[in-house]
Structure 1
């Protein structure tokens, strides 16, 4: 009967770390056991991140009981892991050594006295018991429940071998299986190392000033607005804003940038970054669970739990494959002796060999270990991939669209030219600045900065009747006169005799240089032109070239700018196509248009005003995810640094992951097929069957670990 429980407010959701997972199958059994515990409403295991999230009430002791079948160890989410010591010294491996010694001694005794002698038989039996004790417990329990997993298949095979007098083979299978499990444990720990290293980046306590006191405070007790003192050579424990001091910080842990970044008053800083030279005082802006580093760790762990399309295929295949193998083994053991006069012990032996070789370990682990490794590696390199599905999709991309401002360009516009036609230049710039102070347009900030540099006091100007003209500019009254500030298009509409040809020519010349032209004027005449340019990132041209080299068919630049400015920038960086004068909804519609015909399209933007287009693309890529919650939430992939150079690396990693997953699946199935074909002439022995299974699992895991070596 399924348990009926009512959800109440006090039944909180809690996460625990789990030590000892070796395969997805045992993670599934543990999840099932925990779900059956009294007080637990729901439990979800994340195999990749080695953790379990529980809704309801239970204790660590109860959880460890539920995981006793695999000797799992449970600890709190923020508790530090206990050092397990060197791999070869670990407790679970000692029984393998004893079992192996007993096998060697028994084999020697068998050579001396003959295989049928009681001494080697006792030795083999002890070897089987010591090496396979925990395996038999699990296998027999499953057998009673008619659950046919790897442990059940192995238990039946070993006990069957012993029953027909193949003691030596039974003991060999036990040892090879134990070695296989130990190596699987080791390689999965290695795959998870990226997450563990991320967790250990930031300190667990910090020096905090409260009033006149300076004290070391655990990060859990640090409050927002506390003042954190960071000395040279120390790592920051919390996110915050610098309120005193100047220094350079190594932000590689968060953004993947190896070059230290200068920080001074009012600059944002992140937990886990290294203060290199100056003394800093930082006002804490986020609690420990909300820091950028905590978010990265959480998102990476969630991503590792998400099933990739290839994993879904493997899971579906394994669901039918294992029962199929059991039926085949049974038919092979029974039909030849019953209907063809075959020898019972020989055909039972062959049936047992099929059971052993049929274990789908290598196949089941082929995808998750690749996904865990790749997502962990990308996080260390400053790229946050939010799931296996996005990792796979990035490898199939054919078209990449870029938002111009803040992606291809730096997003910090500056005034480059001021051309006056009537009146004093300083006075006109002061009026323009006073009007633009009420504007939300990104280019307004460039004019305000220019006025500040020239020492103009725009605050002394009284602006009345300010009004925004959507998509074209603004108008306002200054000293009784109505002024307009906006695009040349606005003045084409309001001037009775249109724009004079010489001014038109001047505007076109500036636009062809990649500059955006803003016009100040009245209803009767144009008073001045102000040209503003957004500096192109040094890396943009090189990145676009690299993307074409790695097989991206088309790169598109999307911008709200006029066509002349867009073309000047587009040609400079080498994109295949330029789309200008677009509103946010136009960008969204264009992305939808690109996706027609099942084309894989990525949209790269800053994650704020590009949110609809990012969500609509096959893969949404946000720039500068560090400190930007919108980017982390909206995008499928976040480039933590404000740098496009991580994009070719992401595509390379994705393609390498896809290739390795395909290699793993193909190899796992091929080795099973070869082993099954060896049954026909009777060449498949039990130890060869387990060796094939163990070898396949090990090769698949080691092949996946190659993803740790993918660099930019």
Structure 2
């Protein structure tokens, strides 16, 4: 292998799924340990997705398990290869905690009936060993390395309690910590369940036909061009295009649509969708790692790493908090006996109690767990949010600017009226217009061509076609130069009153007018309408109720813009805008109106979306450009998901604030109680681990926010 090939090989990225990742602070320590490993160029731990990404040489499962042993972090076993996953209540930690409780009950019973002190102490010590064994195994190595994580601090606290004869409290503290560890595993898993469910959406194997032979293969071995065989009631394993059959397909997992979509030959289908009652043959168009579902999963997991602004405060505070509490514990141990004459055993007890609240677990986990729950919930409902920063931004928006075509409207205009002038024949002008528009990809052009085809009109031949972006086109048809396009471009300012009045009347009714002319003569005008989406009016109404001001930006003329804006309930609109004009409009609105989002198709509106605080793309399913160019993607063409996203964001912001406030108040209250000697070991562990569990449970509430 050459040096260049070795360099490329050493920079390869390897992803490991992890278990036991319940403490964000411990996850950061684990990441630092992995980075120190020889051969590792870089390492990232994604706490929300429970994932480790290593750049460099591949590490064995045993190496990673050894590096994460200080907090029980391990590489996840593959449930397909290694059997059923063990339920949380049958994990080793849960069983040891249950055993510790039984021993404590036996000890209390023995104490109550007057059993010998040695028996009572022996039972309490047995409870300490049983309940605290896992903690000590993780904590002792940390102590030797002066790494004061929660396990190390708990080990010191329990050992100290035993040293001064507090057998009963030592046992109860070891048991309560075991309970909290078990509950953290459960609650963390619950918060990540929305992400885990995405991973389980698509089958791991697929039935295909290749060269006339039917095979069952792992999805990684399926190639583009293979024919996927999908029976009624089965999930699609790959993205593709239907070649045989028709069926209703439930693609809620990808787009969030609640109603199954009818699919027939030529239609696109997505991995993770559920086939209805028809048999389908699907030509595979993307490899397993390139499917829309794979991209969604990848982007949702990467979103956990794009930290919300609130996380910056938490990280800064955590770096100062733990060292400060450790110094305060030492000060209490030295000052109370020296200055106040308090027995050193009582001072040591107070210092040990304070040690337990030294680890900022609740605070560190307060923001990422809320972000995980919210982003996972959004993904399951057809909204892809690419990071915590965008989740926070949406909740504080003041203005949402909408593109009209394809966003507020369906994006498929139809010709409503054809008005001829100067004795022109309808059949003739349709043939001329269709011949010119057949060379264009513009939605208005396609509408004219569809009308001609529907009426059985054969387009005339067009030559020397030339497009004029934003205006129209011209070409030679039947030996004469014809032009087709907007009235502003086509007609002189002094056009006759009858023609101008007719055009203005059509525009006042909300139609987009396209003119067809031959040299210096107007032949016809086509009145086209783009139907408003069923969800647009309700979405705009809900956004206005939420205090967000909607604005419509469109390239259509002002009369058409006014009619559409009135129909959907938008009070402010701007018409006759080119793409650069939309960009300028967004830049103009930001300083005066506050935070602004731009909703568009992710292609033509890309400059305006990039300039906005948040870019929101419509219809991302199967559209790579929309997935890549925006901050938030509505996977289906459903604007109803926009108010849901705003509500989810605001709920997430509220819960993050609640979590941070509760964590800080709990910590400061625990520190305050230590000075009069009211902070017991029991209270300390409730203050620390109880707060961690409560903020996680509070974050899980975000899973219940629905469209």
TM-score of the pair, normalised by structure 2:
0.96
Range moving further from structure 2, 70-79 or 158-167: 70-79
Query: Relative to structure 1, is the Cα distance of residues 275 and 96 closer, same or farther in structure 2, using a 3 angstrom cutoff?
Result: same
| Stretch deviating more after TM superposition (629-638 or 462-471) | 462-471
CA distance in 2, matches of 1:667, 1:114: 43
Is the 8 Å Cα contact of residues 253 and 272 (structure 1) preserved in structure 2? yes
Distance of 2:205 and 2:157 partners within structure 1: 53
Contact kept, 8 Å, 2:70 with 2:141, in 1: the verdict is: no
Deviation of residue 359 (structure 1)?
2.9
* Partner residue in 2 for 1:45: 45
Aligned to 1:85: 86
Task: Give the drift of 1:31.
Answer: 1.8
Tell me the distance in 2 between the aligned counterparts of 1:7 and 1:686: 55
Moved more, 651-660 or 126-135: 126-135
1:501 matched to 2:497: yes
In the other structure, the counterpart of 2:289 is: 289
* Structure 2 CA distance for partners of 1:490 and 1:447, relative to 1, 3 Å: same
Q: Is the Cα contact below 8 Å between 1:517 and 1:530 reproduced in 2?
A: yes
Per-residue Cα deviation, 1:245-287 (whole angstroms, up to 9, x for no partner): 1111111111111101111111111011111122111110000
Residue matched to 1:546: 542
Match of 1:340 in 2: 340
Structure 2, unmatched stretches of 5+, are none
**Displacement of 1:625:** 0.9
User: How far, CA to CA, are the matches of 2:60 and 2:529 in structure 1?
Assistant: 61
Task: Tell me how far 1:545 sits from its aligned partner.
Answer: 0.6
* 1:79 Cα offset (Å): 6.5
- 5 Å-filtered alignment, 1:305-384, equals 305-384=305-384
Aligned to 1:583: 578
Give the Cα separation in 2 of the matches to 1:440 and 1:266: 20
Partner of 1:95: 96
More off after superposition, 674-683 vs 191-200: 674-683
C-alpha distance in structure 2 between counterparts of 1:192 and 1:213, whole Å: 40
Q: What does 1:641-652 align with in structure 2 at a 5 Å threshold?
A: 641-652=636-647
Q: Contact (CA 8 Å) 1:520, 1:527: kept in 2 or not?
A: yes
Pairing of 1:217-296 with structure 2 (within 5 A) = 217-296=217-296
Aligned to 2:526: 530
Rounded to whole Å, the distance in 2 between the matches of 1:83 and 1:594 is 55
Q: 1:80 to 1:629 in 2, by over 3 A?
A: farther
Q: Within 2, Cα distance between the matches of 1:77 and 1:385?
A: 28
CA distance in 2: counterparts of 1:319 and 1:81, whole angstroms: 39
Matches of 2:481 and 2:377, distance apart in 1: 59
In structure 2, the partner of 1:214 is 214
Counterpart position of 2:627: 632
Matched with 1:191 is 191
Instruction: Tell whether 2:696 aligns with 1:692.
Output: no
Q: Structure 1: which 5+ runs fail to align?
A: none
Is 1:706 matched up with 2:693?
Answer: no
Residue aligning to 2:397: 397
Counterpart in 2 of 1:431? 432
Q: Distance in 1 between matches of 2:129 and 2:163?
A: 14
- 8 Å Cα contact 1:84/1:90 also seen in 2: no
SS state at 1:536 partner: coil
Give 3-state SS (helix, strand or coil) of 1:9's partner.
helix
Tell me the alpha carbon deviations over residues 86-120 of structure 1, each in whole angstroms, 9 at most, x when there is no partner.
332222211112222222222333344489x3322
- Rounded to whole Å, the distance in 1 between the matches of 2:68 and 2:89 is 23
Q: Aligned partners of 1:356 and 1:113: how far apart in 2?
A: 32
Deviations 1:315-338 (A, max 9, x none): 111111111111111111111211
Answering whether residue 603 of structure 2 is matched by residue 602 of structure 1, we say no
Q: Is the 8 A contact 1:519 1:529 kept in 2?
A: yes
**Aligned partners of 1:82, 1:194: CA distance in 2, in Å?**
22
- Counting only pairs closer than 5 Å after superposition, residues 111-130 of structure 1 correspond to structure 2 as 111-113=112-114, 117-130=117-130
Partner residue in 1 for 2:464? 465
Counterparts in 2 of 1:306 and 1:469: CA distance versus 1, 3 Å: closer
Alpha-carbon spacing, 1:148–1:353, altered in 2? closer, same or farther (3 Å): same
Distance in 1 of aligned mates of 2:198 and 2:154: 37
What SS class does the counterpart of residue 42 from structure 1 fall into? strand
Cα distance change on mapping 1:482 and 1:597 into 2, 3 Å: closer
Distance, in Å, in 2 between the alignment partners of 1:606 and 1:263 is 23
CA pair 284-564 structure 1, distance change in 2 beyond 3 A? same
Kindly indicate whether the alpha-carbon contact (under 8 Å) linking 2:508 and 2:559 is maintained by their aligned counterparts in 1.
Answer: yes
Structure 1 residues 304-360: Cα deviation after superposition (integer angstroms, max 9, x where no partner):
232111112111111111111111111111112112222111111111111113331
Map 1:635-674 onto structure 2 (within 5 A). 635-674=630-669
Cα 1:94/1:349, change in 2 over 3 Å: same
| Aligned partners of 1:492 and 1:499 also within 8 Å | yes
Q: How does 1:412-427 map to 2 (within 5 A)?
A: 412-421=412-421, 422-427=423-428
Q: Deviations over 1:197-239 (max 9, x none)?
A: 1111111222211222222222111100111121111111100
**Which residue number in structure 2 is paired with residue 681 of structure 1?**
676
The residue number in structure 2 matching 1:63 is 64
Partner residue, 1:302: 302
Equivalent pair of 2:34/2:67 in contact (CA under 8 Å): yes
Matched, 1:14 2:14: yes
Distance 1:183 1:199, change over 3 A: same
Residue 80 of structure 1: how far off its partner (Å) = 6.6
Which deviates more, 341-350 or 149-158?
149-158
SS of residue in 1 equivalent to 2:75: strand
Partners of 2:478 and 2:367 in 1: CA distance: 71
Question: Distance in 1 between the 2:163 and 2:520 partners?
Answer: 106
CA contact under 8 A between 1:377 and 1:707: conserved in structure 2? yes
1:168, 1:622 → 2: CA distance? Answer: 60
Q: Which residue of structure 1 lines up, in the alignment, with residue 167 of structure 2? A: 167
Q: Secondary structure in 2 aligned to 1:555?
A: strand
Partner of 1:441: 442
Kept after mapping to 1: 8 A contact 2:255/2:634: yes
- Tell me how far apart the structure 1 counterparts of residues 79 and 410 of structure 2 sit (CA, whole Å): 38
Number of the residue aligned with 1:485? 484
CA distance in 2: counterparts of 1:260 and 1:363, whole angstroms: 42
CA change 1:7–1:394 in 2 (3 A) is: farther
CA distance in 2, matches of 1:16, 1:465: 59
State how far apart, in whole Å, the 2-side matches of 1:671 and 1:303 are: 29
> Taking structure 1 as reference, are residues 359 and 94 closer, same or farther at Cα in structure 2, changes over 3 Å only?
same
Verify the 8 A CA contact 2:225 2:283 in the aligned structure 1. Answer: yes
Tell me the SS of whatever aligns to 1:10: helix
Q: Return closer, same or farther for 1:665/1:75 CA change in 2, 3 Å cut-off.
A: closer
CA distance in 2, matches of 1:673, 1:265: 65
Cα distance in 2 for residues equivalent to 1:272 and 1:80: 21
- Determine if contact 1:15/1:77 at 8 Å carries over to the other structure: no
Deviates more, 1:289-298 or 1:73-82: 73-82
Moved over 4 A (4+): 75-82, 112-115
Counterparts of 1:605 and 1:192, CA distance in 2: 31
Contact 1:43 1:54 in 2 (8 A): yes
Deviates more, 1:188-197 or 1:20-29: 20-29
SS in structure 1 at match of 2:334: helix
